[in-house]
Structure 1
Amino acid sequence: MFFVGMQRRIVSVVSKRNGKVAALLLVLALGLQGCGATLQTRNANLDNQLATGDFVGAALAVEQSMGLASRDVNNLPPVEFKSRNVLDHLDAAKAWLLAGDDQRAMQHFEAAEIVLGDVDRDGNIARGAQQVGGALLGDGAMVYRPSPSEAVLINYYKAILFMRDGRHDDARVELNRADERTRRAVARYSRELDEARSEARQRGASEVNASSFAATHYPEMQTWQPYTDFVLPPATYLQALFLGLQGNASDTESARNLMQRVVDMTDNPSAHRDLQMLSQGNLCPENNCVWVISEHGLGPTLVEKRVDLPVPTSNGFVVVSIALPSLVTRTNDATPYFRLVSGQNEFSLEPLASMDRTVQTEFTKRFPAMVARATAGAVARAVVQDEIGRRHGALAGFVASVASMATTNADVRMWRSMPGGFSAARYSYQPGSTITIRSVSGDQTVTLNGTGPQIIYIKQVGPTAAPIVTQLLGA
């Protein structure tokens, strides 16, 4: 109540000075700050629930934040897409996936995919729409559109759901979509940069050298090792395995090309072995191969970084803040938290991909556009601030300055429940043999009763959470 009362008193004083525009900006600024605190609490609770294995609780909490009265898992309301809930759909989908409710997970994945509006059922890009604007309040004020890696991950998970349900035709469609989105990522970021530069020019902002800006304000970027291309290696790897096991020459050649892309991105020995076998024409000539693919931890998150920028105006210079996102790593472990044991032998999973490197690749490509848009926004706010000061006096100008700082927010939204790392291994097996997944939560045993190639997928969010084991092929 104190916060609300103080807000009203400030607005009253400023309004009496004819600074109504500044007052409105201040109300908006304080409101946005309150929303930010609520979001931080929500994110912290979600991280804790996922890391400790409370997946149902996490899913229900996210759905409640969306306005779905999801208190009874046996009587869940229908999932309805709302553009403001894109990230909630993604987090709810991942939580339900971990909880084992495939149908509910699929509903949320498909709801989140609606905002992309760029693929048809054959996996081809149909159309694209890039949002522009938001100079005054920043990109965070616009409807969230998943990044290429997030979009690819949607299709990756949908393919996994279809594969373990035996719907291989649908899995193929999702893997095609993932591949197409991967290839179109370069065009998306090039378009974003052109649009950001155009907006900056329209607002009279001088172009900032992104490389120099990064060297000064983002020194950590100098230590990154981004991938040379836009790719989510586990999605490409799964598609290569899927096609390579179909048994026809066309799919085998496509699989070889895909596996070559994986090998170019990773030192995983199983991927190198797979490429060798595909080059010889048969991914599993002995018909006794088992692949184990795993994901562990949580992917990186974004925090805000502020930089002051002097902007020339009619009265000289106005110093305004620009706010940009900065990456924070949450998973440093390159390999899973569990061990694989078969009989007396222990097998190792080798790193396949890092979500940090994937996001760093995107961040590096997006960075020039982010700086250009932030600069354009700074100029727009400086003009408003200067105009209010000239028309309504020093106090109104001061309040406008405070409001400008408070409404300058970096877009730090991203899919928080993405995994941190992926690993993979390829082994030979004997029918009836077992694989034990050994973790601090206990042992889980998978019996390889089927014949022919088999794929096992394992998810483990945190070291103390129980691994979730799924047989995608050969169960």
Structure 2
Amino acid sequence: MQSHDKHASAVQATARTGGVAAALAQHEASATSADAKAELLFNMERGELLRLNKRYADSTEAFLLADQKVQQWEETAKTNPSKLLGMAGAALISERLKVYEGQDYEKVWLTTRLALNRLSEGDLEKARVDVKRTHEREAVIAELRAKDTAAAEEEAKSKGVDAKGKELNGYPVETLNDPEVLQLKNGYQNALSHYLAGFIYEVTNEPGLAAPGYRKAIELRPETPLLEEGLRGLDDRTSFTHKRRQQMTDVLFVVEAGNAPARKPKGFTIPVPVGGSLRTVSISYPVIDPSKDAMLSNLQAGGRDFKLERVVDVNVMARRALKDEMPGMVLRGVTRAVAKAVVQNELEKRAGMFGALVGIAASAVTEQADDRIWRMLPGRVYLARGYLPPGEHQVSINGRALDAPVKVAGQYAVVPLRVYEEQFLVGDVSQFGRLMAAAPPAAAPAATAAVVSEPVKPAAKPAAKPVAKPAAAKPAAAATATPTKN
């Protein structure tokens, strides 16, 4: 029954005043048992704080502990979905008593976070595995959620509850029905995960797999030029000719800003008819306020301007997830209200007014909306992509320069940046592939194993005026830049 909102807010306040390391220590101290240290939400929050502290191996370990919980959830969803849908019954006292399974978009974010960690560690193969699991996880979520509201309706009917036409007087429904929320296809898929999948498949030279990733990103975030160019320019970027002639690094900037939103409980009282009279029962639902953070728009690097494209807004995703969850949540809430009204009625019969007051107080204490949510995630994610010469470059965002230059090299590079509590945090730059130092001479095309030419006989020397034999030209060395990791 503890409030995760209060804990997360305290940790973020510590980060503002004492830095990420102090915030991490405070969060770790909150888990005082082995069970607490194994919980999904604890490890998601811990993994994110470790990532901010550039402790990628420890962050990956925490995320993998969280991922074990999600994999158990996935296995149950595939083999025994009724067990998960039956969790509605566990909410007859309070939503907070349910086992926290994670928001659906958090489950998807988890594999995306793992992939970004792997890139920072230079492990391209494991990053490829993580993005593949993202697609599989989304399919499991889609199938289960199709059954979720139906299960809540059945639960309500079994208790004799009809929630049709119930209105939440005072609930800020505009936060769930604004255009940005309604524009999202669902509450769990995001364009970053799919664009990153396309990018990783492109780096591993699998354009046939990269194209669906870029295409899905466009579907989730239409009319975004950077996403459209990812698909449109794929064939050219992966061509042999392009790679032979490429002299600059293809750089993907992943810029994260702000923090994920909080779920704030909001209380209501509703009248419930019981035994010929009306009982006033407390009921509580979470509210997510829209973000007021200023938008980022541009990035400068190496004297070049890049437009920052907002590809994910976690605040909007969280509100869409809440909107999708609300029908089942309302049904469970009304079901609880009826059950608690019956208890109040019985207590009044047995103990008079004192019993009724006890019932009202118990109802108010236990009726607390579930405020658990992954709070250390960024609020928004922006992407920028373009070519830069290998080497160090001064980077600035919205006119504000980073403290130190960023070094890129290789054929591809990923630069993770986070605007966190008024600070610029630069993650480890990942670099893949090699660049040719100079274009191959036009007169010396590469031979192929498939074609065997007859040797050409040299021309005879003129008899009248022999010429000196020319000195043998030294072959041009194909210098390469060995990928490094900053």
Q: Which TM-score applies when normalising by structure 1?
A: 0.80
Q: For the residues of structure 1 that align with 2:209 and 2:17, how far apart are their CA atoms? A: 40
Deviation at 1:81, TM superposition (A): 5.2
1:446 and 2:446 are equivalent in the alignment: no
Superposed CA deviations along residues 158-209 of structure 1, whole A, max 9, x for unmatched, are 1111122222222122112222222333333233212211221121111234
Contact 1:297–1:331 at 8 Å: present in 2 too? no
- 2:22 paired with 1:57: yes
SS in structure 1 of the partner of residue 100 of structure 2: coil
1:222 correspondence with 2:182? no
Q: Does 1:414 align with 2:414?
A: no
Give the residue type in structure 2 aligned to 1:446. V
Query: CA, structure 1 residues 166+145, in 2 after alignment: closer, same or farther (shift >3 Å)?
Result: same
Is the aligned partner of 1:67 residue 2:32? Answer: yes
Output the CA distance in 2 between the equivalents of 1:357 and 1:305. Answer: 19
Out of 206, 214, 225, the position equivalent to 1:259 is 214
| CA–CA distance in structure 1, aligned partners of residues 204 and 232 of structure 2 | 17
Q: Please tell me whether Structure 1 or Structure 2 has the larger radius of gyration of its CA atoms.
A: 2
In structure 2, the CA distance between the partners of 1:52 and 1:237, relative to structure 1 (3 Å rule), is: farther
Cα separation, 2, equivalents of 1:41 and 1:281: 48
Amino acid at match of 1:333: A
CA shift digits 1:93-113 (9 cap, x unpaired): 111111111222222212222
Secondary structure of 1:231's counterpart equals coil
* AA matched with 1:61: Q
- CA shift at 1:343, angstroms? 3.5
> How does 1:371-390 map onto structure 2 within 5 Å?
371-390=330-349
Q: CA deviation at 1:83?
A: 7.8
Distance change (3 Å), C-alpha of 1:435 and 1:94: same
Superposed displacement of residue 306, structure 1: 2.1
Higher relative contact order (CA 8 A, sep 6+): 1
Q: For 1:50-449, what aligned pairs fall within 5 Å after superposition? A: 50-51=15-16, 54-67=19-32, 80=34, 82=36, 85-118=39-72, 130=84, 131-209=87-165, 213=168, 218-226=173-181, 227-229=184-186, 230-248=188-206, 252-266=207-221, 267-278=223-234, 282=238, 285=242, 287=246, 288=248, 289-330=250-291, 332-335=293-296, 340-432=299-391, 434-437=393-396, 442-448=402-408
Which piece of structure 1 moves more, 214-223 or 321-330?
A: 214-223
What amino acid maps onto 1:166 in structure 2? Answer: G
Partners of 2:171 and 2:379 lie apart in 1 by 28
CA shift in 2, pair 1:214/1:392, >3 Å:
closer
Report if the CA contact (8 A) 1:119-1:177 is conserved.
no
Distance 1:369 1:283 in 2: 50
Q: CA 1:219–1:126 in 2, change beyond 3 Å: closer, same or farther?
A: same
Tell me, in whole angstroms, the C-alpha distance in 2 between the residues paired with 1:120 and 1:149.
Answer: 14
Contact preservation (8 Å) 1:301, 1:416: yes
| 1:425 counterpart SS class | strand
Matching of residue 45 in structure 1 with residue 5 in structure 2: no
Q: Deviation of residue 352 (structure 1)?
A: 1.5
SS, match of residue 393 in structure 1: helix
Retained in 2: the 8 A contact 1:204–1:379? no
CA separation in 1, counterparts of 2:15 and 2:139?
31
Q: Is the 8 A contact 2:255 2:418 kept in 1?
A: yes
**CA distance in 1: counterparts of 2:332 and 2:127, whole angstroms:** 38
> Once structures 1 and 2 are overlaid, which stretch shifts more, 130-139 or 312-321?
130-139
Name the aligned partner's letter for residue 403 of structure 1. A
Instruction: Give 3-state SS (helix, strand or coil) of 1:174's partner.
Output: helix
1:122-145 deviations in whole A, cap 9, x for unaligned? Answer: xx9677652332344221112211
Structure 1 range deviating more: 40-49 or 297-306: 40-49
SS at 2:177's partner residue? helix
- Mean alpha-carbon deviation: is it higher for 348-357 or for 421-430? 348-357
SS in 2 for 1:132: helix
The equivalences for 1:18-33 within 5 A come to none
Q: Find the residue that maps to 1:264 and give its secondary structure.
A: helix
Is 2:197–2:210's contact at 8 Å kept on the other side of the alignment?
yes
Quote the offset at 1:441 in angstroms. 7.9
Q: Structure 1 residue 217: deviation in Å?
A: 5.0
Q: Which moved more, 1:402-411 or 1:159-168?
A: 159-168
User: Partner of 2:463 in structure 1?
Assistant: none
Q: Is the 8 A contact 1:139 1:410 kept in 2?
A: yes
Listed one character per residue, the Cα deviations across residues 315-337 of structure 1 (whole Å, up to 9, x for unaligned) are 4221212211111234533327x
SS at match of 1:317: strand
- Matched residue SS, 2:71: coil
**Take 1:317 and 1:454, find their aligned partners in 2: how far apart are those partners?**
65
For the pair 1:467 / 2:422, whether they are aligned, the reply is no
Rounded Cα–Cα distance in structure 2 between residues aligned with 1:424 and 1:435: 18
Q: Deviations over 1:233-268 (max 9, x none)?
A: 2111111111122223xxx23321221121123243
Post-superposition CA distance 1:343-369 (Å, at most 9, x none): 433433221111122222212211111
CA displacement at 1:86 relative to structure 2: 2.7
Alignment correspondent of 1:21: none
Post-superposition offset of 1:394: 2.1
Identity %: 20
RMSD (CA atoms): 2.9
